[in-house]
Amino acid sequence: MHVHVQYRFRQMEVDEVFAGPDSQTVVAEMKRLVASRAGLGVRLALAAMSPLQFAQEVARRYAQATGRSVPAPASCDEFLRLGQAEGIVTVLEPRTP
């Protein structure tokens, strides 16, 4: 699975392609990128989060930043679908079962 994430808001900009065999691995790669760009405190907090917890935190912050009502994803698949619906995520390859 390959997904392209394109997002820009205030001081955060992401324009990257993430790859992995499944959505959980893809979200874990997103988490790694964010951690690599963050300060020590945020890196430590991210290290303690699972990919799903990271996805839920991103959704919460996105809702807060945009003033929109965005549901907390219950899975990494749901998080990627939410990103697609918001125009932030593009799946570049079809998922295989």
* Structural domain spans, the chain: 2-91
**Is pTM, for the whole model, over 0.75?**
yes
> Nearest CA to 62 among 81, 42, 82?
82
> For 10, phi and psi rounded to 5 degrees?
50, -120
Radius of gyration of the chain (CA): 13
CA 80 from chain centre, in angstroms, equals 7
> Nearest CA to 95 among 33, 26, 15?
26
> For 27, phi and psi rounded to 5 degrees?
-65, -35
Per-residue pLDDT of 28-86, as tens digits, reads 999 999 888 888 988 899 999 999 999 999 999 889 988 989 899 999 999 999 999 99
